[in-house]
Structure 1
Amino acid sequence: MNKKVWLSIKGQQGFYNENPETIELLTEGELYNKNNSDYILYKESEVSGMKGTTTTIKIEEGGEQISIIRLGTTNSHMVFKKGEKKYDRYTTPYGDFVVSILTKNIDIKYDENKQPTLIHLDYHVNIQGVQGSKNTLEIQVKH
């Protein structure tokens, strides 16, 4: 059963010699559980630069792995697992890019009903094996 939730999403990206840039978004979303995985679904906006894209966050393996799946004007399937490097093809209106994601940390907090209330990701991204950035993503889920 889908449950309406409010999402407070804060992403920070910093290239190694610069101050990090922060993007914050408050949006309505949906939360549901299927096959022992939690899913959070929301529509991107102009704030994220991905208007026309639907994002699905899948929390699997008891919180050990998170997938962020984007479909629409931007298409990607990024996988985050602590200590592992994963690769993804990121399709945007400006072209396709190969990105590598090295996840430094995943932290998920749950409420008494075992529903996620806070997701925190700390990871490094390399685009086409060249440009690197340190990133954090924090998603608060308000039931």
Structure 2
Amino acid sequence: MKKKVWLSIKGKQQTQDQEAEIIELLTEGELYNKDKSQYILYKESEVSGMEGTTTTVKIEGDQVTIIRLGTTNSHLVFKKGKKKYNRYETPYGDLLMSISTKNVDVEYNEEKDPIAIHLDYNMEIDGAHGSRNTLDIQVKH
């Protein structure tokens, strides 16, 4: 059964020589369970620069996967202490991205629904352009 939820999403990206860039988004989404995993689904907006993209956040134990389909296509996997490689499709071409996850933290309410997700990771695109990133998602039921 899908539940309507409100999402507060805050992403922070910091490169070595630049000030941190912060993007915040408040949006409506859906939360549902399937095959022992939990899913949060929402539509991106022009605020994130990915208008026309649907984002799915999959929570599977201590691993979080973010799948984007639409104008931007990506499949990003976050697991503490692991480095994962992904192809990131943009309207301007494909890039090879690596994600080194420092921390994954998911908080749950009494019904075992996620209420907060925190990701802390380093990202490299095509072996360069390294940045330190955090992503915080608050789920309001």
Question: Which residue in 2 is equivalent to 1:50?
Answer: 50
1:98 pairs, out of 72, 96, 99, with 96
Question: Which residue in 2 is equivalent to 1:77?
Answer: 75
The separation in 2 between residues aligned to 1:87 and 1:22, in whole angstroms, is 24
2:136 pairs, out of 128, 135, 138, with 138
The separation in 1 between residues aligned to 2:109 and 2:11, in whole angstroms, is 23
Q: State the Cα distance separating 1:17 from its structure 2 match.
A: 2.3
TM normalised by structure 1 equals 0.97
Give the counterpart letter for 2:109 in structure 1: D
Q: State the Cα distance separating 1:37 from its structure 2 match.
A: 0.3
The separation in 1 between residues aligned to 2:40 and 2:120, in whole angstroms, is 19
CA RMSD of aligned residues (A): 0.5
Judge which range, 116-125 or 13-22, deviates more. 13-22
Q: State the Cα distance separating 1:50 from its structure 2 match.
A: 0.3
Which one has the bigger helix percentage?
1
The separation in 1 between residues aligned to 2:92 and 2:45, in whole angstroms, is 17
Count residues with an aligned counterpart.
141
Structure 1: state its 5+ residue gaps. Answer: none
TM normalised by structure 2 equals 0.99
Dislocated runs of 4+, deviation >3 Å: none
Task: List aligned pairs for 1:1-143, cutoff 5 A.
Answer: 1-60=1-60, 62=61, 64-143=62-141
The separation in 2 between residues aligned to 1:91 and 1:19, in whole angstroms, is 26
Give the counterpart letter for 2:36 in structure 1: N
